[in-house]
Structure 1
Amino acid sequence: MAQIHPTAIVAPGATIASSAVIGPYATVGEHVILADGVQVGAHAVLDGVTSLAEGVQILPFASVGLPPQDLKYKGEPTRVEIGARTIVREHATVHRGSVSGDGLTRIGADCLIMCVAHVGHDCVLDDRVILANNVMLGGHVHIGDTVFVGGGTAIHQSVRIGRQAVIGGMSGVERDVIPFGSCMGNRARLIGLNLIGLKRRGFGRDAINALRATYRGLFLGRGQFEGRMADVASSQAGFKEVEEVLAFIRTPSKRGLMRAGRGVAEAAEAEAA
């Protein structure tokens, strides 16, 4: 039998695995599914059509699956899905999808959503994403694998963050951030690549050098941007990481591409060299 504290409120119809744990005064709605090993902390609230995969931890006072902050929402059965082993820390909020999006807010596996962070409706976070304390995601944000978002950062709705990027704390992100990129500031601008992350995660020297040449060619070069993209595609052909950056840029965007803040970016690139 699942370990359910006597003060918890679990609605009839909720699907609770036998190894799940539900703490004091927690509330679990009728359409919630908790897989094996899920832990729900004291006073946490799970509502709506919400599915938590194996080993997810929801810490005290967090809320998952409540209605989106969207005035067009009229109670439709939109959803939240959270992948295996993800941790949602105290007072964080994850809202269900909306009818103006795909109807799904999805967080991947092995993510960490720190205290008081907010994941808005229809956001998609891929695996191993870390949102530090007080990060705010507007609706429809898409964050790729293994991205770190620094504390206090606000990301505008419909922004895309490419995988392996890093966002500095207290940033205001209004534009799409390329894979492997690094940005910061209010309003945020690219300052280079996530070189520390690339090295830690085993990217080879040749791939890193190709990405650095790509960054310099795209964001620090002269001439029309389309021409610079063509030059990079030719000079760095054969590197899948470069192809990924170019494909990301070519993908239609609602917010447009974040560009470099030239003075800061050039100084950062020189220091990294």
Structure 2
Amino acid sequence: MADAQIHPSAVIEPGAQIGAGCQIGAFCVVGPQVRLADGVTLKSHVVVTGETSVGEGTVIFPFASIGEIPQDLKFKGERARLDIGARNRIREYVTMNPGTEGGGGLTRVGDDGLFMAGCHVAHDCQIGDRVILVNNASVAGHCVLGDDVIVGGLSGVHQFVRIGRGAMIGAVTMVTADVIPYGLVQGPRGHLDGLNLVGLKRRGASRAEIAALREMLGGLSHGSFRDGARARAAGEVSAMEREVLDFILGPSDRSFLTPRDA
């Protein structure tokens, strides 16, 4: 606890590991299996419990509940973990749950994410780096979100769904099937509405790369995504196209969101 600042009203249970320079505010509760890396800040009224690790420089805001048991009736108290990466911003009333035996026992959150007020990350999720969940977005169990994904406010992601890197989900959208990398999803019952062009440009994608992705997406939309991807993968494609094709051909029991008229 070198140089840690802990408010007198905070409860730090025996066994908790508190890194150098941590700041733990009023009325926080830190459980006995919790590990806070250097420079973690718990603002006030934060509960961190279970076998939970929080990475360096992460800030957790008031009334967040981190590491409580999964909202899964199959959970029987088995060992399960929640690993949160570095420099995340976890805002008010956010909930994050550890894994379950049926899902590998681990929920993992990457680095540099922003989880706005009221968001939920369920058991066994795998969340990449630089992910943004806007206010009251909820991600159900066993989901995989790639790096740089944005999920809009009041949106929900169905269990076992994969969302590829750089995809963007609009506000008030229900995502019930896999979303290709760099896809743009909108609508109350989400459908693929092209590419996340803003995100691609921010990542430095060239016009040629974006045009190739558009052309490929148009070809895949006429029939089975997987059949089209297999045929396309047999030819010469760019690195970005290969990433999308590998995602489509990867292991999943779910279908894919497609354009509304596909």
**Per the shorter chain, which TM-score range?**
over 0.9
How much is the aligned-residue C-alpha RMSD, in angstroms?
1.4
Tell me how far 1:227 sits from its aligned partner. Answer: 5.3
Which whole-Å CA distance do the structure 2 matches of 1:2 and 1:227 have between them? 56
Runs of 4+ displaced beyond 2 Å = 223-235
Tell me how far 1:230 sits from its aligned partner. Answer: 4.8
Q: What is residue 242 of structure 2 aligned with on the other side? A: 243
* Percentage of identical aligned residues: 48
TM-score, length-normalised on structure 1? 0.92
- SS of residue matched to 1:214: helix
**Aligned CA distance change for structure 1 residues 15 and 127 (closer, same or farther; 3 Å):** same
Which whole-Å CA distance do the structure 1 matches of 2:250 and 2:153 have between them? 28
Q: What is residue 229 of structure 2 aligned with on the other side? A: 229
Q: What is residue 55 of structure 1 aligned with on the other side? A: 57
**Aligned CA distance change for structure 1 residues 188 and 224 (closer, same or farther; 3 Å):** closer
Q: Indicate if the aligned counterparts of 1:41 and 1:61 stay in contact, CA closer than 8 A.
A: no
Equivalent of 1:162, from 164, 172, 179?
A: 164
Tell me how far 1:226 sits from its aligned partner. Answer: 5.3
Which whole-Å CA distance do the structure 2 matches of 1:227 and 1:96 have between them? 36
Q: Indicate if the aligned counterparts of 1:48 and 1:77 stay in contact, CA closer than 8 A.
A: no
The amino acid that maps onto 1:81 is: D
- SS of residue matched to 1:66: coil
Which whole-Å CA distance do the structure 1 matches of 2:140 and 2:260 have between them? 24
| CA shift digits 1:53-73 (9 cap, x unpaired) | 110111100011000011121
Q: What is residue 260 of structure 1 aligned with on the other side? A: 259
Which whole-Å CA distance do the structure 2 matches of 1:82 and 1:207 have between them? 33
Which whole-Å CA distance do the structure 1 matches of 2:227 and 2:152 have between them? 33
Q: What is residue 44 of structure 2 aligned with on the other side? A: 42
Equivalent of 1:186, from 180, 185, 188?
A: 188
TM-score, length-normalised on structure 2? 0.95
Tell me how far 1:229 sits from its aligned partner. Answer: 2.9
Which whole-Å CA distance do the structure 2 matches of 1:61 and 1:214 have between them? 45
Q: Indicate if the aligned counterparts of 1:159 and 1:175 stay in contact, CA closer than 8 A.
A: yes
Q: How many aligned positions are there?
A: 260
Structure 1: gaps spanning 5 or more residues: 264-273
The amino acid that maps onto 1:50 is: T
**Aligned CA distance change for structure 1 residues 209 and 234 (closer, same or farther; 3 Å):** farther
Tell me how far 1:224 sits from its aligned partner. Answer: 5.5
Structure 2: gaps spanning 5 or more residues: none
**Aligned CA distance change for structure 1 residues 225 and 134 (closer, same or farther; 3 Å):** closer
**1:136-215 to 2 correspondences below 5 Å:** 136-215=138-217
Q: Does 1:131 align with 2:133?
A: yes
